[in-house]
Chains A and B, each alone.
Chain A
């Protein structure tokens, strides 16, 4: 088993190293300097290897610190309950939710696909050795931060140490149950496609973890001790069962299909990615168009993709309406919530940058545009003439902005109404700024993703995402939006600054798109 693990680790490291070199070569200026023989260059290989190993080590800790800091530690300030108990309480319920959502073993990753399906490695040895490695990383990654943040929150030392072991035990129990279920039904569960039961369980856990402390109920040290001992016993039993299970190949053959792996990696490319995109096309005989030329072409694209376009934003809008209705009822009956809401609306507008980022459809829409449309059409020279490129760009921009504006308008109006009902403000301009800044953010994301798509066209002929610049821009966009969560600023100032930024950014990027898209919008060969 150790030999299998070493082979698999070397394999993973090799393609990770090659991916790093490939990514470096995708940057516009660097690719002209670096030769193709780079993959043979031992100096650079060592450098990429070091980055690869460093990222593995950093990866052990970075996710855990962010998780404990944002999901648990920062939440403590919301409640008036005992800090130590609340820490243990939230950690326990989130661990239960995380246990069913993330098993490691049942995640159809590219590594497993390459090793088990393509290279025919021993599935049991591969699966188990990598599973144990992940579990060790889990405990090692959690321990420093359960100690650090646990100490600050006043959690007893033995619980600080027990918490990572509790996570480990829960993971083992869930995995053992999955194996038991597989033996019984002959159906392996893919952790990226959770069942309704799993989602329900997660929702209940989240509700209990954050909801109970709000009404001054938390589990205490004694309850945790009982839960921990039971988990530990079941965990040891599960470990034995997992270790003695033999039919891993059969189980993995079900999970490791090309399309599952694509979903997990989100960039496995090839036919699987295309197949998933094709499933998004709907043929309804009533969907026709009276337009002509590229307006006709685009109109049909929108109608045939209503599942990911109009229907998706309609669903979002309904959820937003429900949330706002619940909030309005809440602030009418609860004075504390009313005051807190007013405070949030006056200080936490930056948080909505992240929310608008999450609900914006532009990223998935541009992907569908490529997979189901531009991938084929860009091979026709006539489609790449400036008139057609800019004509279709204009139609797409109008559609993206309109679609994203539907939920944005609801959020903007909802926030203004909530501000009014929660006690209002002595500066009436705040109402306007709240509404307009949300609209501006929505337009910003629509323009941003479409312009990036046209200027960087990141996909190659095999439908693989191959632009490091595009990936970097996406990463920076996410980081900036995530960083906004941490900021508190008066709504008036932040809102005005946001509106100004969005207007200027959108104008500049549209200018760049009109100037350069006719040259940049083509297939990567």
Chain B
């Protein structure tokens, strides 16, 4: 299964943020999306999540050589600022998400099993989400997106709010689930991208380009990425 993006363009007024995006993202890989501030990473995610209308181009799912439109159920989007309904408890939020995604969940677990999977403590499970810390809200956001089992998982700097221990847990969790998903991971932290991601993609001057690692050691690869990023602007 692939997510294919073809000739995607997005302008804000006269400013061309995404000029001509052509890329194929494959299932089973984590793609690290790097780009300087204002490069258009979030805009790219917003386009894929259909939060904003694109100016031209298309994106679709290609599975066994058949092409189909990307439906709402295909996408999970984890934002850097966690968005959870604060009037619900953690348990109620999970129940709601399980209810509305019933058909898509292959092996349904109990709510407590999901909490265990995300390492959310027992005493926190029945508290209102408004009283959760930033990191815990982020965990919940990640968890409901995983429960919904989308084919494409967009992660917009999701690990920056976690402490080092939780960030490690999350990285491990993403490695575990990647075989069933196409994961695109946007970050500013290069070490994180190099450590976690299978491919590094740079959004540069409104265009996506993959940075080839072949024949390079880590240091050389890092320098190559920095050079590519510096070219922007």
Residues of A in contact with B (beta carbons under 8 Å apart): 35-37, 278, 281, 283, 292-294, 296-297, 300-301, 304-305, 372-373, 375-377, 379-382, 384-385, 388, 522-523, 525
Contact = CB atoms under 8 A, between A and B. Distances in A.
A281 B46 contact: no
Contacts of B100: 293-294, 382, 388
9 contacts: A296-B99, A304-B87, A379-B51, A379-B79, A380-B145, A381-B75, A384-B72, A385-B73, A525-B51
A385 B70 CA distance: 13
Interface in B64-88: 72-73, 75-77, 79, 83-88
A285 to B, nearest CB: 8
A521 B100 CA distance: 19
Contact of A372 (B86, B89, B95, B145): B86
Contact of A300 (B52, B76, B92): B92
B193 interface: no
B49 A381 contact: yes
B227 to A, nearest CB: 32
B51 A305 contact: no
Given A278-B86, A380-B77, A36 B101 contact: no
A293 B72 contact: no
B87 A382 contact: no
B13 interface: yes
A413 B195 CA distance: 71
A36 B14 contact: yes
A296 B96 CA distance: 7
Contacts, number: 79
Nearest to B49: A381
B87 A372 contact: yes
A36 B95 CA distance: 44
A381 B87 contact: no
B228 interface: no
A377 B85 contact: yes
A36 B77 contact: no
Contacts of A375: 83
A373 B128 CA distance: 13
Contacts of A278: 86, 130
A221 B52 CA distance: 67
A522 B46 CA distance: 12
A266 B64 CA distance: 54
B61 to A, nearest CB: 14
B99 A373 contact: no
Contacts of B12: 36
Interface in B9-26: 12-14
A10 to B, nearest CB: 27
B3 interface: no
Contact of A381 (B14, B72, B86, B96): B72
B77 A381 contact: yes
A380 B84 CA distance: 10
B85 A373 contact: yes
Contacts of A373: 85, 87
* Candidate in B85, B96, B144 with the most chain A CB atoms within 10 angstroms: B85
B148 interface: yes
Contacts of B95: 296
A165 B106 CA distance: 77
B50 interface: yes
A376 B86 contact: yes
B52 A525 contact: yes
B14 A305 contact: no
Contacts of A376: 83-86
A297 B73 CA distance: 19
Nearest to A35: B13
Nearest to B75: A381
B84 A292 contact: no
A44 to B, nearest CB: 15
B129 to A, nearest CB: 9
Residue among B83, B87, B92, B130 with max Cβ neighbours from chain A (10 Å): B87
A35 B14 CA distance: 8
Contacts of B87: 281, 300-301, 304-305, 372-373
Given A293-B100, A296-B96, A388-B100, A281 B51 contact: no
Contacts of B49: 379, 381
Contacts of B144: 380
Given A297-B85, A376-B83, A382-B148, 10 more contacts: A35-B14, A37-B14, A300-B87, A304-B88, A377-B83, A380-B144, A382-B72, A384-B50, A385-B73, A522-B51
